[in-house]
Amino acid sequence: MDPAATGRPVPLPKHHPAGRCRFPVPASATPEHWLKLTALCEQYTVIFARGAATIISGIKTRPTDPLIPSFATVLRRRREALDLSQEALARRAGISTVFVGRVESTRNQPTINSMQKLATGLDARLSDLIREAEALAKR
């Protein structure tokens, strides 16, 4: 039976990385529609893959909020003022050492919940840390 008649995904060539097209195929599809659809599947799979890679790499390299780098600086300064290592702060905050390092280097954007845990680990109020970060960002 012709796969177009079943409405199942269109098979792509074996060498194609996506393996199968996810566009629905109408039962009335002609061989010409079939070829066009297969070509579109290949084209859009490549475009989407490239687009996703660009978006992901952008997320990993750029903080979206200007307050994030300032918060990271405040976090590091407060931690060092208390003579705490990243590991010690992580233990006190109940989070991973890797996460503390990633926040301080702006590779991770902390949630309010994790910011609260970090503030608790520093024996500080989150509002004070944010106020300090805002003042630093304005300089």
Per-chain mean pLDDT for the chain: 75
Successive 10-residue mean pLDDT values, the chain, 139 residues: 49 45 58 68 56 47 72 96 97 95 90 93 95 90
Give the residue extent of every domain in the chain: 3-61, 67-138
Is the distance from CB of 109 to CB of 118 less than 8 angstroms?
Answer: no
What local confidence, expressed as pLDDT, does residue 59 receive? 45
The structure tokens 């503390």 sit at: 100
> Domain 67-138: which CATH class?
mainly alpha
Distance CA 30, CA 13 (A): 19
The DSSP bridge partners found for residue 20 are 11
So what's the pLDDT on residue 27?
62
pTM above 0.85, yes or no: no
For residue 126, what pLDDT is reported? 93
